[in-house]
Amino acid sequence: MAAAGKWETITGPVHLAVYLQFEMPKSWSRKKREELIEQKHTGKPDLDNVLKAVCDALTDCGVWQDDRQVASIFIAKRWSERGNTTIRIERTEEDT
């Protein structure tokens, strides 16, 4: 939060996209690492558990008023050389 600075709390519906990259274990052979890079990660943690933690953290940080504002979601887990999480939040139009 300190690095991001201050922001305005989002009101209204949002689309949430969460891209999770899990670091491959160092113990894996180079061949196995090459085969699995950018492939889908099907192990733990479960997507629903990660999503709940992300939504709760964003609520606690004041990004939005409540995670009930999330109207649509995209979430993906992939293998990577380095672990990383990217979160994108887009305001969406309210239905009229």
Q: What are the pLDDT tens digits along the chain (96 aa)?
A: 555 567 789 999 999 999 999 999 999 999 999 999 999 999 999 999 999 999 999 999 899 999 999 999 999 999 999 999 999 999 998 654
- Token pair recorded at residue 78: 């992939």
Residue 61 near residue 1 (C-beta atoms within 8 A): yes
Residue ranges covered by each domain of the chain: 14-91
**Closest by alpha carbon to 17, among 93, 90, 91, 92?**
90
Order of strands across the sheet that contains 70-80: 70-80, 14-23, 84-91
Cα pseudo-dihedral 63, 65, 71, 73, rounded to 10: 30
Q: Which residues on adjacent β-strands are paired with residue 79? A: 22
pLDDT at 8: 87
